[in-house]
């Protein structure tokens, strides 16, 4: 279990983004953290990944204090972070990127299985460069493929729906469901999209830098769009995806 205790974070301009936050993330579950814009979701994701360090508080992984671990040290103990906008690597092929993530050479069958799990055909992608010729949806799925190859214990996805089209978004939902059903790692997704909330085991509602509500999906959905939760406009936007 990943446990965050009394976490606070103050921005460089002195604004308190997280304020004494306490959160336990259960192992082996798909947890979605949601909330209105400015509630501290992305900051929380970066603190979990080790990109940012809390101003106050402690972080424990299975009772081990990892508060002072940086992003590289957290990667070594099995915590991965997927950015809103994945990094592109000119001159590096998809094959090379996945092998770097796996830290070993992989045969074509192994590479094919990994890419197939994110809905990509290895024949069309293995020798392509990870550059601007890839669409937003393609680069997102390739980033997820590297996460699978890395075999991490906890993966944090920061608003994975950002910058992709409707078709890619629908495909991405299938990828997350497949990962959750076929892998044992803990998944943590930062999102306000209703379709992602619907595949969660647990939902955490963040507001004003603190946990407002947390619980199983069925019990939490009624709270998500209530006062202090997601703005109604976000729900209207989601209706587009359900047509």
193 Cβ neighbours under 8 A, 6+ residues apart: 161, 169, 234, 238, 241
Residues of the chain with pLDDT under 50: 227-228, 232-243
Is residue 204 a contact partner of residue 211, using CB atoms and an 8 Å limit? yes
- Tokens (6 digits) for 89: 């690597």
DSSP state of 104: S
- Tokens (6 digits) for 69: 């671990």
What does the pLDDT read at residue 230? 60
The 10s digit of each residue's pLDDT in 181-202 is 876 679 999 998 888 999 999 9
What does the pLDDT read at residue 123? 81
What percent of the chain is predicted at pLDDT more than 90? 36
What does the pLDDT read at residue 85? 67
- Tokens (6 digits) for 93: 């092929």
What does the pLDDT read at residue 226? 63
What percent of the chain is predicted at pLDDT more than 70? 88
Could you tell me which of 89, 86, 77 has the C-alpha nearest to residue 150? 77
* 239 phi-psi bin (left φ>0, alpha ψ -120 to 50, beta other): alpha
Whole-structure pTM value: 0.80
Separation CA 125–CA 115 (nearest Å): 9
The 10s digit of each residue's pLDDT in 62-109 is 989 999 999 999 988 989 888 766 678 888 999 999 998 888 899 989
Q: Which residues pair with 32 in a beta bridge?
A: 189, 203
What does the pLDDT read at residue 241? 35
Burial of 182 (0-12, 13-18, 19+ CB in 10 A): exposed
Burial of 183 (0-12, 13-18, 19+ CB in 10 A): middle
């Amino acid at each position: 279990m990943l446990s965050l205790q009394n976490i606070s974070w103050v921005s460089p301009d002195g604004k308190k983004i997280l304020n004494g936050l306490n959160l336990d993330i259960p192992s082996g579950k798909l947890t979605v953290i949601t909330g209105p814009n400015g509630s501290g979701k992305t900051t929380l994701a970066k603190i979990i990944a080790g990109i940012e360090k809390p101003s106050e508080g402690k972080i424990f992984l299975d009772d081990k204090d990892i508060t002072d671990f940086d992003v590289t040290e957290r990667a070594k103990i099995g915590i991965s972070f997927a950015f809103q906008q994945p990094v592109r690597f000119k001159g590096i092929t998809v094959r090379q990127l996945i092998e770097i993530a796996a830290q070993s050479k992989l045969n074509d069958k192994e590479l094919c299985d990994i890419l197939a799990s994110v809905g990509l055909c290895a024949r069309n992608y293995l020798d392509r460069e990870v550059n601007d010729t890839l669409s937003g949806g393609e680069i997102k799925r390739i980033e997820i493929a590297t996460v699978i190859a890395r075999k991490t214990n906890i993966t944090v996805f920061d608003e994975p729906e950002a910058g992709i089209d409707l078709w890619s978004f629908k495909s991405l939902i299938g990828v997350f469901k497949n990962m959750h059903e076929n892998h044992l790692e803990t998944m943590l997704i930062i999102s306000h999209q209703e379709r992602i909330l619907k595949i969660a085991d647990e939902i955490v509602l963040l507001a004003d830098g603190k946990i407002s509500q947390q619980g199983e999906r069925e019990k939490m959905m009624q709270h998500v769009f209530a006062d202090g939760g997601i703005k109604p406009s976000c729900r209207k936007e989601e209706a587009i995806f359900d047509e």
